[in-house]
Amino acid sequence: MYAIIETGGRQYRTEVGLTIQTEKLPYEKGETISLDTVLLVADEETKLIGAPVVAGASVRATVVDQIKGKKIRILKYKSGNRYRVRQGHRQFYTRLRIDEIITGADKSREDSEGDI
């Protein structure tokens, strides 16, 4: 089973046990988070496609690490004008380990079992 989620303005294909690197999220290392912007959930026989998101679906993940990416150097230069500017940037990332994919059907099944 896999799911496509959106976080930080980007889309990621996730599977249980997979580690993904996303834009920095405001969580501490070791925290468990729930990503609710699920665009698609699919397995061998069924596909749930959201419009725009799958109702009731979520992905649970654990924050593995908060890291910095590779340094990027930006150089600006104009010949003849003695104009030179050097700048650098280093992006922050969050590594997530996917623990569980919950579909809307699973939640409704759990709710109905709890009423018995």
Q: Where are the domains of the chain?
A: 2-109
Query: Structure pTM?
Result: 0.78
What is the predicted pLDDT for the residue at 105?
Answer: 66
List, for residues 48-68, the tens digit of each pLDDT value: 898 899 999 999 999 999 999
Question: DSSP class of residue 55?
Answer: T
Per residue in 20-40, is it b (16+ CB within 10 Å) or e — as a string?
Answer: bebeebeeeeeeebebebbbb
End-to-end CA distance of the chain: 28
What CA–CA distance (Å, rounded) separates 98 from 101? 8
Q: How many CA atoms lie within 13 A of 73 on its CB side?
A: 3
List, for residues 96-107, the tens digit of each pLDDT value: 999 999 987 654
